[in-house]
Amino acid sequence: MEAGLPTFGDIESSQRRLRGRAVTTPLVYSPEVERRIGVRTLLKVETMQRTGTFKFRGACAFISRIPEAERGAGVVAYSSGNHAQGVAAAARLFGIPATIVMPDDAPSVKLDRTKALGAEVVTYDRRRESREEIGEALAGERGAILIPPYDHPGTIAGQGTVGLEIARQCEAEGEAPDAVLVPCGGGGLTAGIALALERLVPAARVWTVEPAGFDDHARSFREGRRLANDPTPPPSMCDALLAPTPGEITFQITRRLVAGGLVVADDEVRSAMRFAFEHLKLVLEPGGAVALAALLSGRLPIASGIVVAVLSGGNVAPGLFAEVIAD
């Protein structure tokens, strides 16, 4: 698997590796979303995953594939926060050390949580230093293994278990999704879900959802090639979705399997977070709310059928959350 693209079989084997380790997160019907948009909506509540995001799946599947004899020196990751926590929690579960390279302006809730999970945190300046270089240098020094946040077949296969669960949970209820909306940063989650659904629900159309100013996937799909975001983009509250460009590996999958890219503005994200608080009783972080935001603001061109929105993360600082729900 290392050399090429991940396969459906890799996702299935990831699912076996995650058994007893990851949470099978619920897929829940929301009458209130349906009432608003007129389309039957199921929510994949991945916020209830360990560490509050899907990132634990990729990290855990990745580590489980490292031969036991090579795990001892531990793992290294670079991340704005959610991948950091996923790797830290997975490393703790396997009893190996984790070192995480995080931007010094990451939300403090994410820095603190990563440390609380037992990882060593090394910070860097996002504007002047390269996290990739720091991560690779650390891994080299320590003989540790680097876990890429999205552009690796092992990571993608792990995230793809979200798609496997969506397909099987829908099937158990006798429902077949027509559209699946996925919050998108580097594209690892989208690629994994699209691969799983290609096999299990081929008629389902997968859409990425990105924050305004970071719509590299939406534009890349239209152009048919990987485009980068403006290097000095406007600010976005979606700190989990700020990857500069689609991944090389992820884009080989998503360009083939994704129907298109939707884009939402910060105020739509805020509304979706408030809606989730009021009506779903769920805590969403900005980046985890973009798929719901796209639905509620009518961005998806669909008038009937069944829609699945992935709620991908819930790691939001109490202060920001309080501000958003008070609006």
Q: Which of 48, 212, 227, 265 binds a second copy (CB under 8 A)?
A: 48
| Nearest partner of 81 among 215, 243, 263, 289, judged by Cα | 243
Q: How far is the CB of 248 from a second copy (least distance, A)?
A: 32
The Cβ of residue 301 has, within 10 Å, a number of other Cβ atoms equal to 11
Q: How far is the CB of 240 from a second copy (least distance, A)?
A: 14
| DSSP codes of every residue in 71-117 | HTT-EEEE-SSHHHHHHHHHHHHHT--EEEEEETTS-HHHHHHHHHT
For the chain, give the longest Cα–Cα distance: 56
Backbone angles phi, psi at 264, to 5 degrees: -125, 150
Task: Considering the complex, state which of residue 118 and residue 244 has its C-beta at the smaller distance from a second copy.
Answer: 118
Only segment of 46-54, 94-102, 205-213, 244-252 that touches a second copy (CB under 8 A): 46-54
Q: Which of 50, 110, 217, 255 binds a second copy (CB under 8 A)?
A: 50
Only segment of 11-19, 40-48, 152-160, 226-234 that touches a second copy (CB under 8 A): 40-48
User: Would you count residue 277 as binding a second copy (CB under 8 A)?
Assistant: yes
Query: Do 240 and 285 meet the contact criterion of CB atoms below 8 Å apart?
Result: yes
User: Would you count residue 238 as binding a second copy (CB under 8 A)?
Assistant: no
* 3-state SS assignment for residue 244: coil
H or E segment and range at residue 29: strand 27-29
End-to-end Cα distance, the chain: 48
| Angle, CA 45 vertex, CA 151 and CA 320 arms, to 5° | 85
User: Would you count residue 306 as binding a second copy (CB under 8 A)?
Assistant: no
Q: Which of 33, 144, 282, 294 binds a second copy (CB under 8 A)?
A: 282
Task: Considering the complex, state which of residue 41 and residue 220 has its C-beta at the smaller distance from a second copy.
Answer: 41
Which residue type occupies 99? T
Task: Considering the complex, state which of residue 44 and residue 226 has its C-beta at the smaller distance from a second copy.
Answer: 44
- Per-residue contact flags (x/-) with a second copy for residues 176 to 205, judged by CB under 8 A: ------------------------------
Q: How far is the CB of 223 from a second copy (least distance, A)?
A: 36
User: Would you count residue 284 as binding a second copy (CB under 8 A)?
Assistant: yes
Binding site for a second copy (CB under 8 A): 23-26, 28-32, 45, 47-48, 50, 52, 277, 279-284, 314, 318-319, 321-322, 325-326
